[in-house]
Structure 1
């Protein structure tokens, strides 16, 4: 992203001071604390962690405060900070099947094995403004629910018993890391999933919506959506085994997609997959839909020319930090470039006018 700008140093210092004043707002209003942002704007914090690729609620809340609530700016701050951190090792793959679920639903089976856990969600609210929230300190306090613990079987496992869903190929090979090496095309599914989980929520949502409106051969059901806490383990060389080093909250979505078969595959269901930091279910569902749309070639489907099927188009435009940098650099000084364009337009107009005058004279 473009961050350098030439100009008067005093003017830039003044701009920074003015920004700090605007960030603080009216001094008679109590300052918003990082803890308040972390606890009460948790969905914004989750988005910043997901698209910033750094799981740290406190730092994400600090970034939101510093960015005055501009989430893309906050994501940029988190990514910039992330580049300063040393990489001390790699965690073991997390087992989302052992997730302590705050929310776990399926749109495919009413009586899902393990039960439906509605959890904290806007899905069943009326979307009416609650003016009681404006009376600070008087918000109703519900009893805090306990997460559903224990192994929860996956819905797709039951479909798989009848061979009704495509088997996912497994590989012991470590996936490439897009934060350490540039994206190459074709990217392959592991890289695609990394790009989508870091991608801008609005862009991924738009791509997913386009698939539902017919711009890809995609008819999805939410096989399972689960949100909860999973332990993170890391192998310690001195010990020779893995130990738990912390916990993270994740949102995981598996879609079940209609598939009538192809030249290489029988009629069956196929999957889309989404996994995102925090409670970020809109993003996880969108990611799963786009993931499935991008799998058209490996499943032997036809290329319908839909935007969501175009790997390079989707992945090269999903990153909001790259997009913002390219967009916002045009407000920086381009005096020399514009003067050359101006002279060119004047020259073309003068030549056209001369030609018109000659033609009229003839």
Structure 2
């Protein structure tokens, strides 16, 4: 706390009051409602839910409003709230093949079974400012998309069609319970499940930068997007009293599977390998970046050479991906460090005195000669 600042707690209270005033802004402008944030800033809401590890659009909207649009601060608020929630149990692994897809594309197969579903995306826009949005028009005057309802039939994964030729690695099946990064501290080497959790919670900008580095040659990672899908997936939970699982809700997810070339090893023939990303909400950039970094981190598992790329260094990537941890360590340096600085100041003054005395002695010797 800023207790050492003149005014102490009173100054802090005033700072909080001023912050609330700044958050509200001009009172002649209508205040944003949580519904407006949730519905019209949905991609920001999705990011906060993903990096906050809590799927609740209303709470994410509240956090964004409270944080004045600072998404990292909003993630911090969500994570802090999450620690207060009781844990009732665990759900079954979601079956993304049952996803009701709003969007489903593949960069590897043009005529994929089930077809390509473009869905809501910026991919085909011209990136020009739309000044029509400055007019607060009624919804009835807005253009309406003529789209079908989300796909609710079984939608198999596109990469499953490579399984028939046995030219893509099989994902290992295990009944072992994965580690939980939110309850246990990370240790190295980390399992792939824990790595994926860390990447999902990691800062989107950092994961994007790591992924971009792999594409620029700082890892052997020339990838294709095998499939990218966005949609709602049912969540099921085993109820001991009932003896079977029931559906307790659904979550919107973005899933990305990348395809990477693999030259093979002594025991494995040449084939394709996978990178994987799964994120809350519509978070396409994050899920693709996550898949690229996931594949780069698998070099040892696949028997590849370590090229010394940052994205191949598990400890470097996972230790620096968390924006809350990074923010805390970075922003703490603006808190009072008076004693520390005084000791540094005295040390520099002492070194300067010693250097000056030495210079005087050297000058005196030269003069004597």
Give yes or no for the alignment of 1:162 onto 2:165.
Answer: yes
How big is each residue's C-alpha offset from its partner over 1:74-128, in whole Å with a ceiling of 9 and x where there is no partner?
Answer: 0000000000000011011100011000000000010011100000000000000
| Partner of residue 262, structure 1 | 265
Give yes or no for the alignment of 1:271 onto 2:274.
Answer: yes
- State which of 302, 306, 316 in structure 2 corresponds to 1:303: 306
Find the aligned partners of 2:186 and 2:356 in 1 and give their Cα distance.
49
- State which of 250, 254, 268 in structure 1 corresponds to 2:253: 250
Find the aligned partners of 1:142 and 1:196 in 2 and give their Cα distance.
34
TM-score by length of 2: 0.96
- State which of 2, 6, 22 in structure 2 corresponds to 1:5: 2
Q: Which runs of 5+ in 2 are unaligned?
A: none
Larger mean CA deviation between 164-173 and 290-299 belongs to: 164-173
How big is each residue's C-alpha offset from its partner over 1:204-238, in whole Å with a ceiling of 9 and x where there is no partner?
Answer: 00000000000000110000000000011111111
* Contact map agreement 2:276 2:290 (CA 8 A) in 1: yes
| Partner of residue 57, structure 2 | 57
How big is each residue's C-alpha offset from its partner over 1:163-212, in whole Å with a ceiling of 9 and x where there is no partner?
Answer: 11011111100001010010000011010000000000000000000000
Find the aligned partners of 2:111 and 2:299 in 1 and give their Cα distance.
31
* Contact map agreement 2:105 2:229 (CA 8 A) in 1: yes
TM-fit CA distance, 1:353: 1.2
Larger mean CA deviation between 265-274 and 194-203 belongs to: 265-274
| Partner of residue 281, structure 1 | 284
Find the aligned partners of 1:111 and 1:130 in 2 and give their Cα distance.
33
Correspondence list, 1:281-360, <5 A: 281-360=284-363
Correspondence list, 1:91-170, <5 A: 91-137=91-137, 138-143=141-146, 145-170=148-173
Correspondence list, 1:197-236, <5 A: 197-236=200-239
TM-fit CA distance, 1:144: 5.3
* Structure 1 stretches of 4+ moved >6 Å: none
TM-score by length of 1: 0.98
Find the aligned partners of 1:300 and 1:82 in 2 and give their Cα distance.
39
Q: Which runs of 5+ in 1 are unaligned?
A: none
Find the aligned partners of 2:157 and 2:9 in 1 and give their Cα distance.
59
TM-fit CA distance, 1:261: 2.0
Partner of 1:155: helix, strand, or coil? coil
How big is each residue's C-alpha offset from its partner over 1:218-265, in whole Å with a ceiling of 9 and x where there is no partner?
Answer: 110000000000011111111011101111000000000111223443
* Contact map agreement 1:106 1:116 (CA 8 A) in 2: yes
Larger mean CA deviation between 164-173 and 53-62 belongs to: 164-173
* Contact map agreement 2:2 2:9 (CA 8 A) in 1: no
Bigger Rg, structure 1 or 2: 2
How big is each residue's C-alpha offset from its partner over 1:298-353, in whole Å with a ceiling of 9 and x where there is no partner?
Answer: 00000000000000000000000000000000000000000000000111111111
| Partner of residue 33, structure 2 | 33
